[in-house]
């Protein structure tokens, strides 16, 4: 396993640890390498930018992702000699180091984001100007060329199609659809009916994930809003919870905490501003039989249309929350049954079986 950093613990980081634990439990040897490893010297672009202002430092890191040859080398993995290398986030590791590793070892890359197309991996730079779009297209072609020996694993067809539409050269790379799952200890347990007037936000407390949109749309008359997670907007969430009794901040939750939160809530709210590749919180909601209120651009690909309510404009979110809170019991029960059916298809053991098949059939891509 190779990942850029574990400084923050989000869905990708948790997924890597879950995969590592499951593979180890099946008798496989797994080692996780990251940019945080003290055995790996920081890249040249990071050392050069250490004393620069934040914006210049960030720009230098993104340029370094493309052209900085320093970073992990095959010899750094030699003592372990892996049968296959699984890359999860190549940004801040660098294209050239990953390309070098792919020449030495069979390599696959789970596409957790859209970083191949845009250094703002939520596609935040696309569409700003024709010149910028042209530069991003050149960047994407450069990356794809270096990744020609890397197998891309997409969690959903939508993500694959988005990447190929923006970077057509990616259509020439070996790829496979490998839907993600979550090894929840409470998967397939019977769940009580959810409260139609109780809503849960579970994820990073950032603008990208839309927690500010949700707070703006929220009205006490809707019922109860539970917010779980951490991030840059945590102080804003805490202020709102302190001033509004209908908003409760739960902090960062472990598995038992999530189970308790889903037992209270009838809905998961997923108001992400940007396209999402999968949304592991949505997978957890479906496993708990909870339907999802989602932004249309971030709709969860593992959920049927009958398991979700979608809004296209932030102004619609408040109306949708009101509709969900007042939904007739029969209609809600049908949505919850659809969500539970989606959740039963997200089997963790089958996901690990698929990954092992990918590993066993991996070989150098010429």
**pLDDT tens by residue, 78-114:** 888 999 999 998 998 899 999 999 999 999 999 999 9
pLDDT at 6: 45
- Report domain extents, the chain: 2-181+348-361, 198-344
**Which positions of the chain have pLDDT values less than 50?**
6-8, 365-366
* DSSP character at residue 247: E
Q: To the nearest 10°, the Cα dihedral for 200, 206, 210, 212?
A: 90
Q: Rounded to whole angstroms, how far apart are CA atoms 198 and 102?
A: 48
pLDDT at 39: 59
pLDDT digits (tens, 9 = 90+) for 118-154: 998 888 899 999 999 999 999 999 999 999 999 999 9
**Tokens of residue 69, six digits:** 């040859």
pLDDT digits (tens, 9 = 90+) for 235-249: 999 999 999 999 999
pLDDT at 36: 67
Instruction: Quickly count helices (H) and strands (E) in the chain.
Output: 13, 12
pLDDT at 366: 39
The CATH number given to 198-344 is 3.40.50.2000
Q: Rounded to whole angstroms, how far apart are CA atoms 272 and 315?
A: 14
The two domains 2-181+348-361 and 198-344 share their CATH topology (first three levels equal): yes
Q: The whole model's pTM is what? A: 0.87
Sequence-distant (6+) residues with CB within 8 A of 106 are: 83, 84, 85, 362, 363, 364
Question: What would be the CATH architecture of the domain defined by 2-181+348-361?
Answer: 3-Layer(aba) Sandwich (3.40)
Q: Rounded to whole angstroms, how far apart are CA atoms 240 and 252?
A: 17
pLDDT at 163: 95
């Amino acid at each position: 396993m190779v990942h850029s950093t574990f400084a923050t613990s989000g869905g990708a980081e948790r997924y890597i640890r879950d995969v590592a634990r499951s593979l180890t439990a099946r008798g496989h040897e797994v080692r996780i390498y990251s940019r945080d490893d003290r055995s790996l010297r920081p890249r040249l672009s990071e050392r050069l930018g250490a004393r620069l202002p934040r914006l210049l430092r960030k720009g230098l890191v993104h340029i370094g992702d493309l052209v900085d040859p320093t970073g992990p080398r095959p010899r750094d993995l030699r003592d372990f000699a892996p049968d296959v290398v699984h890359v999860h986030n190549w940004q801040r590791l660098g294209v050239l180091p990953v390309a070098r590793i792919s020449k030495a070892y069979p390599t696959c890359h789970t596409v957790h984001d859209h970083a191949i197309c845009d250094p703002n991996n939520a596609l935040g730079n696309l569409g700003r100007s024709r010149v910028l779009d042209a530069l991003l297209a050149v960047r994407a072609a450069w990356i794809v060329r270096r990744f020609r020996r890397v197998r891309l694993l997409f969690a959903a067809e939508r993500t694959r199609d988005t990447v190929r539409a923006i970077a057509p050269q990616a259509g020439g790379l070996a790829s496979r659809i490998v839907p993600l799952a979550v090894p929840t200890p409470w998967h397939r347990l019977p769940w009580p009916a959810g409260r139609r007037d109780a809503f849960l936000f579970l994820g990073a407390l950032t603008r990208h994930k839309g927690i500010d949109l949700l707070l703006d749309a929220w009205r006490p008359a809707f019922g109860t809003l539970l917010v779980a997670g951490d991030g840059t907007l945590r102080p804003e969430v805490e202020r709102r919870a302190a001033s509004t009794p209908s908003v409760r901040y739960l902090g960062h939750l472990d598995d038992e905490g999530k189970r308790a939160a889903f037992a209270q809530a009838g809905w998961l709210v997923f108001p992400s501003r940007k396209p999402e590749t999968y949304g592991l919180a949505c997978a957890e909601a479906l496993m708990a039989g909870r339907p999802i209120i989602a932004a249309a651009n971030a709709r969860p690909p593992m959920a049927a249309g009958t398991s979700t309510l979608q809004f296209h404009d932030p102004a619609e979110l408040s109306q949708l929350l009101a509709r969900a809170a007042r939904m007739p019991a029969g209609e809600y029960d049908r949505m919850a049954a659809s969500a539970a059916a989606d959740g039963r298809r997200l089997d963790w053991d089958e996901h690990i079986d698929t990954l092992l098949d990918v590993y066993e059939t991996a070989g150098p891509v010429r």
